[in-house]
Amino acid sequence: MDVKIGVLALQGDVSEHIDAFAAALAACGCEKGSSVVEIRSPGDLDGCAALALPGGESTTISRLIDKNGLYEPIRTFKGGIFATCAGMVLMATHVADPRVHSLGLMDMTVDRNAFGRQKESFEADIPVTGIDGGPFHAIFIRAPVVTAAGTGVRVLAKLDQGVVATERGRYMALAFHPELGGDFRLHERFLKNLGI
């Protein structure tokens, strides 16, 4: 199967997302003819089955989405969206911070930097619904949490501070960074949800 996946390449850990999706496509047995490309302008989205919104600074990425005319094209994008950390913030309908112009694609309220500053960033093995093979080693870097998940948003993982993994149809939003840890089970689940 020829699959094209785009990674929003405005700011953040873009190359890590590209490598992770390449590995996940290989694990699904469809690396042949498939590609993972950088998305910098609306035309780059043509033919993409999915889009990854990487980690980075949500204020910066949000500003650059607007500046590069990508806001509406991403909102109306018909493929799947895989969002991590800053990406999760951008997916939400409600962000308790006027500095971020979120896309509002998933009915949820997100609190930025909910665990604190970098010294409070952590790694932990957390249980995640919907994947086999035991807990997921999750890397939280100045991570957000979902404080309220609304209609149709399925919770995949929750900690004391709030929800850290959600899914709605072709969308998946994670507060942590599966692209950094070498475990691509969530990428594979996301691809499977898209029928890939």
Partner 1 sequence: MKLEELRFGTELLKRGFASMQKGGVIMDVVNAEQAKIAETAGAVAVMSLERVPSDIRKQGGVARMADPEKVREIIDAVSIPVMGKVRIGHFVEAQVLEVLGVDMIDESEVLTPADEEYHIDKKQFKIPFVCGARNLGEALRRINEGAAMIRTKGEAGTGNVVEAVRHMRAIMGEIRKVQGMDEQERISYARSIEAPAELVIECARRGRLPVVNFSAGGIATPSDAAMMMQLGADGVFVGSGIFKSSNPEKMAKAIVEAVNHFNDAKVIAQVSTGLGDAMPGLDVHTLRADEVLQTRGR
Q: Is 19 in the site for partner 1 (CB under 8 A)?
A: no
Give me the least distance between CB of 49 and partner 1, in Å please: 24
Has 123 been annotated as catalytic?
no
Q: Is 107 in the site for partner 1 (CB under 8 A)?
A: no
Q: Which two tokens stand for residue 56?
A: 């980075």
Which of these ranges, 3-11, 43-51, 147-155, 187-195, lies near partner 1 under the rule CB under 8 A?
A: 3-11
Provide the pairing of β-strand 171-174 with 162-168. Answer: antiparallel
Question: In whole angstroms, what is the distance from residue 108 CA to residue 94 CA?
Answer: 6
φ/ψ bin of 154: left (φ > 0), alpha (ψ from -120 to 50), beta (otherwise)? beta
Main-chain phi, psi angles of 131, to 5 degrees? -130, 145
Residues 108-147 that bind partner 1 (CB under 8 A): 112-113, 116-127, 139, 141-142
Q: Which of 17, 85, 167, 187 is catalytic?
A: 85
Q: Is 59 in the site for partner 1 (CB under 8 A)?
A: yes
Q: Is 31 in the site for partner 1 (CB under 8 A)?
A: no
Question: In whole angstroms, what is the distance from residue 181 CA to residue 119 CA?
Answer: 19
